[in-house]
Structure 1
Amino acid sequence: MTDQAMAGHCDAPPTRLNPPQVRLPKLVQAVVLTAFRRAAVRRWFKRHGPIFEFNVPFFGHCVAISDPALVRSVFAASSEILTNYQPNVSTMFGPGTIFALDGGPHHDRRRLLAPAFHGRSLRYHESAIVDETLRESANWPENEEFSVLEPMTRITVNVILRSIFGTAGAELAEVRELAPRYTRLVTSMAKFMPLPKARTRRYSPWRRMDEIRRALDRIILPMIERAEADPDLTERTDVLALLLRGRTDETTMSRQDICDELVGLIGAGYETTTAALSWVFERLRRHPDVLAELAREVDEGGGALRRATIVEVLRTRPVFDLPGRWVTAPHLDLGGWRIPQGYNVFVSLADLHMDPEIFPHPERFDPGRFLDTRHSAPGWLAFGHGARRCLGADFAINEIDVVLRTVLQNFHIHTDSAADEKSSLRSVVHAPRRGGLVTVTRRK
């Protein structure tokens, strides 16, 4: 490979060594980003332009970008130049998860898992999503404001567990109780202190997290062993069965690797979808015209506007805002800047999605902008792009679509002029601060 390719060559030759830097102590930068991330990033972009450097504990030197051309260059770079940002949640979900893989092994794992989250599998899981939505909404209060965040959490957890294990029973009930607790601890800790490879388990801030993970392993590992001996394994469509059938001499996965993967998929499979669903209802409460059109469409059996609405919600309220890559090549030349090896490069989706050159009048909530236009990179990146685009993106959009359709078929959502809910960083996703407050009445 040439030095130019190894450097991640862009059209413009490097003319400056370092992007503008945030001139604050590392600890102050970390506190500001933890407490006021989006406001701070937006302010720094305004001050420094579409690329700047910051430096925080654990993650070290980082670069943030929002310019579409720079974003395109980052997501087009090969895995020999850029890999998954470091440290990432694989340090907590385990080395067997897809988050820990790069290059060929990452590609092979994606190819193995893809059938569970695309194509016919989406239709297969639709009835489960409807069932879970109807079961959860059966006790919703009428004419009384409530937060949809917790109901949506229960729906998405149940759906991902059914997709992964394909079974019910006491064991799954235990996983249903433990897995969300573990995910919340993992992602909350990841914001402040990524997991060290060597640590004292008895006296450490990670003790409770480790206890829950050991409890999950004690439940899931025997489930894997029984699935291996299942005479109907070849007929099963769940993720566990796919992983077991996909093991070969070249792609050997131990039971612990599979356990890591399943736990990671549970965490990735419910939190972002829960936040997105909460934002959907938060937005519709404040946009009666869109809601009226959606209700009319669902009665007529359509779905184009509903899908466009979901895409617009994810544009205006991205739930995961800083997908990143780590520079593994000697350096990355990016739009005239030279980014050294060992730096993380993060894309600010909240700022990219508000670019008026890509989305005219970006402050407007306008699903119509996506009715006749396919959402595409580098403008719309709610699920990332390139080799590390979220594996479950299609599954998540389909789940949101089916939940929203089912709710609209059974409820009237009240609208009013309530102020927008502010965004709150829950673990690593942005959700409505008040949980997406709504008021509903049942359709007769």
Structure 2
Amino acid sequence: MSETTIDETGIDESTIDTGADARRAGPAEPDRSPAQVRLPPAPRIPRALQALAFSASRKRTIGQLVRRYGEVFTMRLSVFGHTVIVADPALAKQLFMANTDDVGNIQPNLSRVLGSGSVFALDGADHRSRRRLLTPPFHGKSIKNYETIFEEETLREAAGWPEGEAFETLEPMMRITLNAILRSVFGADGAHLDDLRRIIPPWVTLGSRLAVLPTPHRTYGRFSPWGRLAAYRRQYDEVIGRLIDAVQADPNLDNRDDVLALLLRSTYEDGSSMSRQDIGDELLTLLAAGHETTAATLGWAFERISRHPEVLASLAAEADTDGNEYRQATILEVQRVRTVIDFAGRHVYAPTFELGEWVIPQGYSIVVAINQLHRRSQDFPDPDRFDPQRFIGQRPNTFAHIPFGGGTRRCVGAAFANVEMDVVVRTVLRHFVIDTATAPGEKVHPRGVAYTPRDGGRVVMRRRR
């Protein structure tokens, strides 16, 4: 009798049929039971080396494995454990459209740093109920109310930009997007928001880096990264508690249109309200997810357009009109060629989950490699070319272009971020002339969860006279 091995995930590896084994053994039986596990091929690389390579350089590692093993394969990762990597839009669609009882949010996820009350921590009916509360402030007429904020914050930040000298755009974009989300969430400026401006940036930077690492069993005090993260969280909770008290005491609460007021007035279908802790966790999620990734995309936008004179000329001409078709196409192309968040995942809760020809067992993670989807030549001819024209007059395939993720867990603030990027780029182009650059494009820098320009998206601008 052969020995059966069960690892720490509780999966009996003697019952698993890998794709490579199946191909050597010939075609599968036509009446194969749906419960028969059949995994995609796995790299013949030691597990520890797989985990190390993924942690050190996700994009490069996944890109090399896609070229060698195709658009679906199995890995063993230190954070997610047994993981199936997907770079096929058809399989991504199948995953994102699956029953949420069968596949839920990937485990672990950003709730490790955002809190148990964050939308990232919820699954199934709880997740759907929370999204219904969060959706109104970030869609339709609500976003139109924020456009003035986006423009004001851009002009306020741009007042101090050097003229005729190269400077990094990433950090200014970080300040613009943070101030914009703070004003949109809390409705006004003031000392409390100054406290959050001090707390949020270092917290986001540290949390983003720790989110892709295994969580220790203890924080090891204030001198460890996890201890510092906990200290930032305590400061944040104190400030948010005071802000909630102030908004609840506002006699004009019912007439306010900021996000915090809307959340305080919102109720679930059973009439209950969000707890203060859940509101704090959700606001932290909005502040963290709502500013770093948008700022990174804007930094890449200025880096890209400064190196493509024809694109820059078209954008500058359009900025003086009421149109935004070419600007929107440019944003889509920036999101494609410089993907800021490179993966979205799910966790298998059902006994097995059928993904194309494969059958994935309970306990596995399935990760969609967004960067690889965005570079498929089948969907984007000459994928390395920066060409906004490919999006003029046509929208990308829904599951081939997913910068905000997909399915029921698609970023709730996607429309907010899109309008913000549109307004920021338009405002800059209306007030500045951007010099074209001949230097090679900036390399990609991993900033924890997000990818940013290594040199900060450096450009040279001159004020329009």
Q: Secondary structure at the match of 1:55?
A: strand
Q: Which residue of 2 aligns with 1:217?
A: 237
The structure-2 alpha-carbon separation of the partners of 1:165 and 1:361, relative to structure 1 and needing over 3 Å to count, comes to same
Kept after mapping to 2: 8 A contact 1:354/1:362: yes
Read off the aligned partner of 1:161 and give its amino acid letter.
Answer: L
Decide which moves more: 222-231 or 377-386. 222-231
Partner Cα distance (1:27, 1:77) in 2:
31
TM-score w.r.t. length of structure 2: 0.89
Q: Name the structure 2 match of 1:9.
A: none
Whether the 8 Å CA contact 1:16–1:336 is kept in 2: the answer is no
Task: In structure 1, give the amino acid aligned to 2:440.
Answer: A
Write the deviation string for residues 367-407 of structure 1: whole angstroms up to 9, x where unpaired.
Answer: 11111002341111111111000101111111000000000
Quote the residue 1:121 is aligned against.
142
Cα distance in 1, alignment partners of residues 200 and 321 from structure 2: 39
- Relative contact order, CA 8 A, sep 6+: which one is greater? 1
Residue in 2 aligned with 1:207?
227
Given that 2:306 and 2:436 are in contact with CA atoms closer than 8 Å, whether structure 1 keeps it comes out as yes
- CA–CA distance in 2 between the matches of 1:151 and 1:199? 32
Residue 365 of structure 2, aligned match among 333, 344, 348: 344
Contact 1:87–1:194 at 8 Å: present in 2 too? no
Secondary structure in 1 matching 2:359: strand
Closer, same or farther in 2 for the Cα pair 1:168/1:377, shift >3 Å?
same
Residue 330 (structure 1) aligned with residue 351 (structure 2) = yes
Partner of residue 317, structure 1: 338
AA at the equivalent of 2:235:
A
Number of equivalent positions: 432
Partner residue of 2:265 out of 245, 249, 253: 245
SS in 1 for 2:180: helix
SS at match of 2:212: helix
**Structure 1 residues 238-294: Cα deviation after superposition (integer angstroms, max 9, x where no partner):** 111111111355543211111111111100100100110011001101110011011
Q: Which residue does the alignment assign to 2:305?
A: 284
Separation in structure 1 between the aligned mates of residue 259 and residue 397 of structure 2, nearest angstrom: 28
Sequence identity percentage: 47
Matches within 5 A, 1:272-421: 272-421=293-442
Name the amino acid aligned to 2:334: V
**Among candidates 70, 73, 80, match of residue 49 of structure 1:** 70
SS in structure 1 of the partner of residue 291 of structure 2: helix
Question: How far apart, in 1, do the equivalents of 2:97 and 2:260 lie?
Answer: 31
* Equivalent position SS for 1:225: helix
In structure 1, give the amino acid aligned to 2:187.
G
Contact 2:222–2:228 under 8 Å retained in 1: no
In structure 1, list runs of 5 or more residues that go unmatched: 1-11
Distance change (3 Å), C-alpha of 1:294 and 1:199: closer
Verify the 8 A CA contact 1:149 1:274 in the aligned structure 2.
yes
* 1:431 equivalent in alignment to 2:457: no
Shift of 1:195: 5.9
Counterpart of 2:38? 17
Deviation at 1:200, TM superposition (A): 6.0
Q: Does 1:90 align with 2:111?
A: yes
Cα offset for 1:30?
2.4
Q: In the alignment, which of 177, 184, 199 is matched to residue 156 of structure 1?
A: 177
In our comparison, the structure showing a higher alpha carbon Rg is 2
- The residue that corresponds to 1:229 in the other structure is 249
Which sits farther off after the overlay, 107-116 or 393-402?
A: 107-116
* In 1, Cα distance between equivalents of 2:375 and 2:65: 15
Instruction: Tell me the amino acid that sits aligned with residue 291 of structure 1.
Output: L
SS for the counterpart of 2:76 is strand
Segment drifting more, 50-59 vs 158-167: 50-59
Unpaired stretches in structure 2, ≥5 consecutive residues:
1-30
Is the 2:186–2:258 contact (alpha carbons within 8 Å) kept by the matching residues of 1? yes
Whether the 8 Å contact between 1:221 and 1:256 is mirrored in structure 2 is no
Query: Cα 1:36–1:88, aligned 2, differ >3 Å: closer, same or farther?
Result: same
The correspondence of residues 134-213 of structure 1 with structure 2, limited to 5 A, is 134-194=155-215, 196=217, 205-213=225-233
Output the CA distance in 2 between the equivalents of 1:18 and 1:113: 37
